[in-house]
Structure 1
Amino acid sequence: MAGNSTDFQMEELIAKPSARMASPAIHRMQVPESLELRNVLRHACRLHAEIFDLSQPLSRRELETAARQVLVEFQLPECYVGWTMVVLSNEFWRERVISIPLTRRLLLLPEVSTNGQGRQSGFADVQIQAESLGMKVLAAESSPELMQLLFDNSIEAIVGVASLDVLEKALEMILLAGIPALAVPLLSKNDATQFDSEWVEELLNVIPSNRHQHEPEYAALLRSARAMFEPAELIRLVPRLRKGPSLAEVNGAGASALEPIAATEAIAHDFLALGGKYARPFITLAAFQAMNGDTIPGTSSFRGQPQIPDAVRRVALSIEIFHKASLVHDDIEDADEFRYGRPTLHRAHGLPTAINVGDYLIGLGYSLVSRESSTLGADVVGDIVDILADAHLRLSEGQGAELLWRDARNKLLSTQDALEIYALKTSPAFEAALLSGLRCAGPLGESQSRLKEFCRHLGIAFQILNDLKDWQGDQNNKLHAGLDTLGGRPTVLWALAIAGLPETRRQELLQLVDSSLPSAERVTRVRELYTQAHVFTQADKLIADHQSHALSIADEIEPECLNRLLHYLVDTVLFGASTFGDSVSKNSYER
């Protein structure tokens, strides 16, 4: 649509009653009703996106601010914020996607009920067209497979078709990776056959150009963090000192087939390579890179990953190794049976061996740092070891407080005490990852205390968000979350319920811990009591408060490259936080 015609249509749409401001209670994830309105808003977003700096990562906050500006301009309701953010994001990424070959793009399609007849006709045609162009095709809900493709560097761009809420969930990790993504929201959450086919056709036919675009810096760093734990690279960075086969080379015979002295090292290496999100080493690498830029003399790379000194990579490895050690010990303390889809170490190899492997990993983590004095400098190594030791002590204090509370007869818990446990258990890992990466790049300076505060708020918000996610998931997740609560884990949700329920209901909640009722009934009742106490809404507010504090601190931090990284971490670690409490509350019929 061209100039005057577009202006006239905009005025007509503004005049329509359906386009006037709606009640604030309307959810933010609605799709504009008419194709005409959607096309006009797409045109407006394309014009508005010209203000974006395409050379810098786009934060969720910037995206939402721009979306609200577009809606205010047209006097449209807040319920279209989510949809408008998707359109603006498309415009931000369009040029980047144009530069990527079709064979390096992935098409995400929604899961639909087919009754054995294959994909419904509309999507079947889209899938055939995409595959004829050389694109890969995947279900939007298949997050693990999607992330595997990202990590393996098999794809560089994504085109997605899904409902707004599914897009938000599927793109959570995509945002962390910084992968260019174009998306078309379904017109109805409950009907996967309704979508703007012309829009999908347009995105599929975005022809690659010869314009060179740099890969998003955070995507490359996330791949680099994962690549360190691939067997060959792990052996290169952390050579095995003992000879003999790995666990994978004994044909399922287990640790008994290993030479006894070499067994501990072999089990530890096998566990390190099993899986994870690798967020902590990513933060270390990103912090270092933010302060040094892309070109660093005397560095090595692995399979096209960013050139970062091996000494810094080993520091990043140590952060994840400490995390893996804590998982081994936590699994023992919580009597968990599975980790990464396999039996936990204490189930696979016995309790004494698992404890010993966890201890070995702690020693390995410290040794990776302490042996880099000649490359990083003795003062740098000393500071990083001190950062890691401080984080280790506080993590142990937090875990100890949780265990003591779990075993205590008195299950009363204040919100402040629960938040302090969260601060001890979760925040130190963020802090160690961030400060270690920065210290590899240079002195920490006067901002160190504020960065610690930033990590404290980020860690607390992250842990509360995880608790809400547990209750929002499928029935198995909810049962696990409820049993976790009844088993004695001191959560903020429990503390809020204790504080918010009248005395009779509070006593009922406390008695459910030792009740003889079936587990499912007990969990259902816990959820009902949480709902009565408005726990989920209050938890959502706590997340927003800590997120706001973290962003306020990030605003103060200099230089700009570090400021940008901190905002990016808040946007990605807490992605979708504003929707979780609302979603859980609705599922709980909270009033």
Structure 2
Amino acid sequence: MKVWDSRLKLNDIYKPIDPKITKLKYELNNLAINAGVPDVSELFEYFFKNSGKHLRPALTFLSAGAVKNGQVDMEENDVIQLALAFELLHSASLVHDDIIDEDMTRRGQKTLNNTFGNKLAVLAGDTLFAYAYSIVSNLFPVKYSQDIASLSYKMCVAEIEQAKGNIDREKYFRIIEGKTALFMSICCKLGAILAGASENDVQNMESFGLNFGMAYQIKDDFEDDDPETLKHVTMDDAREFSSKAKEAISGLQDSEYKQNLYELMDYIMNV
């Protein structure tokens, strides 16, 4: 494992999956343009005009490559479609979060709720959820589609717990697991399954994603100076989850994809 290079950029980490990220962006644009209803296309085109880091799709692509030492056909449409579903699910949650938090800007532009009103923003988020579920149900047997339904339920429960307050250390960890870490865990898990990974490797990728997500959310909360976070955890907790994430995939055969999962974890912790 290479020593962390502070000069490393996200684009460097994404280099082996850059063609897949490009295809993902094409699929997002195509979805917006061809939504079938002009009013829906307008909402989608506006939201996806300024894209984010595509972190969840990246975890999906890198996980699929890591379990097969990069030998999986990463241009396979199923893997692209899975990543698309995850990006849509994440986007839907962001749209709804902006409404709940009454946020006025995201990614350098006005939020959907600020531009089109809460009613249309809620419906846009619901539509993105529906698209995501449709994609996953077409790709996987029912038991894996149920993973997505369970994830959505747990994300909502976590948001309810956070909104209710009275947060202690145990509850804080439960909240960030539900609203962030489980999502990243499923990205890694289903990416590995699509790549034909063994059951053991699937479990290891799932563990990597869970610990990655816990570290990511703690770091993010500290950057936001969230008072609830500062009361209950320290950056040592984030570093412990980061170490657990790396340990989970240490047994995988060395490859560029595995190395870039390590580097993505380091990037999140050091950026």
Indicate whether the TM-score tops 0.5: yes
Question: Quick one: distance in 2 between partners of 1:546 and 1:290?
Answer: 20
| TM-score when normalising by structure 2 | 0.85
Deviates more, 1:354-363 or 1:563-572: 563-572
Q: CA deviation at 1:467?
A: 2.3
1:267 partnered with 2:43? yes
Question: Quick one: distance in 2 between partners of 1:450 and 1:574?
Answer: 21
Q: CA deviation at 1:285?
A: 1.6
Question: Quick one: distance in 1 between partners of 2:155 and 2:248?
Answer: 23
Q: CA deviation at 1:235?
A: 4.7
Q: CA deviation at 1:354?
A: 0.7
Question: Relative contact order, CA 8 A, sep 6+: which one is greater?
Answer: 2
Q: Which residue of 1 aligns with 2:114?
A: 347
The answer as to whether partners of 2:62 and 2:258 remain within 8 angstroms in 1 is no
Q: Secondary structure in 2 aligned to 1:567?
A: helix
1:219 partnered with 2:39? no
Q: Which residue of 1 aligns with 2:179?
A: 425
Q: Which amino acid counterpart does residue 177 of structure 1 have in structure 2?
A: N
Q: CA deviation at 1:314?
A: 1.2
Q: Which residue of 2 aligns with 1:278?
A: 54
Q: Secondary structure in 2 aligned to 1:331?
A: helix
Could you list the per-position Cα deviations for residues 130-160 of structure 1 after superposition, in whole angstroms to 9, with x for gaps in the alignment?
xxxxxxxxxxxxxxxxxxxxxxxxxxxxxxx
The residue correspondences of 1:383-532 to structure 2 (distance < 5 A) are: 383-405=143-165, 411=166, 413-471=167-225, 485=227, 491-495=228-232
Distance 1:234 1:543, change over 3 A: closer
Q: Which residue of 1 aligns with 2:84?
A: 317
The residue correspondences of 1:73-152 to structure 2 (distance < 5 A) are: none
Could you list the per-position Cα deviations for residues 231-266 of structure 1 after superposition, in whole angstroms to 9, with x for gaps in the alignment?
xx4355777252xxxxxxxxxxxxxxxxxx531243
The residue correspondences of 1:14-25 to structure 2 (distance < 5 A) are: none
Q: Which residue of 2 aligns with 1:178?
A: 12
More helix as a share of residues: 2
Question: Quick one: distance in 2 between partners of 1:338 and 1:280?
Answer: 22
The residue correspondences of 1:165-204 to structure 2 (distance < 5 A) are: 168=6, 171=7, 174=9, 176-178=10-12
- Find 2:94's aligned residue among 322, 327, 330: 327
Question: Quick one: distance in 2 between partners of 1:381 and 1:283?
Answer: 21
Q: Which residue of 2 aligns with 1:544?
A: 239
Q: Which residue of 2 aligns with 1:234?
A: 28
Structure with max Cα Rg: 1
CA RMSD of aligned residues (A): 2.7
Structure 1: any 5+ residue segments left out of the alignment?
A: 1-58, 65-88, 90-167, 180-217, 243-260, 297-306, 373-379, 406-410, 472-480, 486-490, 497-538, 577-591
Question: Quick one: distance in 1 between partners of 2:206 and 2:189?
Answer: 8
Question: Quick one: distance in 1 between partners of 2:97 and 2:253?
Answer: 38
- Find 2:262's aligned residue among 564, 567, 571: 567
Could you list the per-position Cα deviations for residues 206-243 of structure 1 after superposition, in whole angstroms to 9, with x for gaps in the alignment?
xxxxxxxxxxxx4141463155224xx4355777252x
Figure out how many residues of one structure are paired with residues of the other and give that number: 269
Q: Which amino acid counterpart does residue 3 of structure 2 have in structure 1?
A: L
Distance 1:553 1:312, change over 3 A: closer
Question: Quick one: distance in 2 between partners of 1:443 and 1:329?
Answer: 34
Distance 1:323 1:274, change over 3 A: same
Q: What percent identity do the matched residue pairs reach?
A: 23
Q: Which amino acid counterpart does residue 60 of structure 2 have in structure 1?
A: T
Q: Which amino acid counterpart does residue 311 of structure 1 have in structure 2?
A: D
Q: Which residue of 2 aligns with 1:338?
A: 105
Q: Which amino acid counterpart does residue 493 of structure 1 have in structure 2?
A: L
Q: Which runs of 4+ in 1 moved over 6 A?
A: none
Q: CA deviation at 1:361?
A: 0.3
| TM-score when normalising by structure 1 | 0.42
Could you list the per-position Cα deviations for residues 75-131 of structure 1 after superposition, in whole angstroms to 9, with x for gaps in the alignment?
xxxxxxxxxxxxxx6xxxxxxxxxxxxxxxxxxxxxxxxxxxxxxxxxxxxxxxxxx
